Structure 1
Amino acid sequence: MSAISKLQYDPSRWLTLVLVTMAFWLGGSLLLDFVIMPGMYVSGMMEETSFAPAGSVIFSAFNHIEILCAALGLTGMMILGSTLPEGFSSRIRTLTALSFILLAIALLYTYSLTPQMSALGAHLNLFNPVESVPAGMNQLHFSYLSLETLKFFAAGTIFAWCYRNHFAD
């Protein structure tokens, strides 16, 4: 007796995975950037000496989720690139490159920007009150916002392509 596998590849599963991943990631980023952080700023929490450790914990957790989302998106794009018909190949290559950029951004956030911002924001001298924002913090904020803009563009492009191709039936 021989068993014949009837496992068939269905690209819509990978499109769905990438679509859901990008939606989750974009939604989380929008929530963090436009609800949580402004809420902390308005409530005055950013002026507290305990903000740097709290911000570090929040951003570190979110950054690790971003790495997972970027890895899922990149994996999905690579699998779609190897299995979709030839007409999709140039577009998939571009989307795979955007996925690599998203992974690089998540890694930069996790291992460079967040630790630097946490270190600059840490108030280590209890006898000297904090009078102003450290000098390098504005440059780090600019870097963060620039990378965040690039992230929204790349993830939005991938999301839009997956959405169009998933519901093109």
Structure 2
Amino acid sequence: MMEEQKQSIGLLVELDECKHLGLDYVSIHKQLRNSYRESCSIKRNLLTLIFLVLVFPPAFWGTLDISSRLFYLIRTDSKPSICWHATSNAEAIAMNCIYNHLAVKWLLRSFIDDEMDFDFENLGTEPDGTWLYFRRVDDPTQHPRHSYIRINAADIDTYSKESEDCYSILG
């Protein structure tokens, strides 16, 4: 029995020596387990980073794009713009639209500012307060500088109603 006790004591001494050398089985096992966790953590962090860089921005952009398109559709359907859909002057008049000289378009009465129209018509560069208007003439033989002819201010509406190109020269 003495022999067995001596062997047990010898093993205990060897274990104590291993502990002093840092060769404890339990601590080695914990170190291995922690290093495995750290490597898994690095992989998890890398996958998260890839997700944030490659997947999240396009998903975020798509969400913004869809929401802006839906907002645009809702907004445009809520306000009818009937005057702009007229195909002729008679049709625009039948829709209760008024031709505006300043905008050079058919508009609903609520869109027209009479005071601003009056100021525009009376504060031109001409002595009588009108503006100079010119109509483009498509004549390839004329010099481009001379391809405009002066028209009467009252005629500007006629030309614009007929979808011709008209210009105003601001002295």
TM value normalised by structure 2: 0.25
Q: Comparing both structures, which one devotes a greater share of its residues to helix? A: 1
TM-score using structure 1 length: 0.25
Which structure dedicates a bigger proportion of its chain to strand?
A: 2
Query: Bigger relative contact order, structure 1 or 2, given CA contacts below 8 A and separation 6+?
Result: 1
Bigger CA radius of gyration: 2
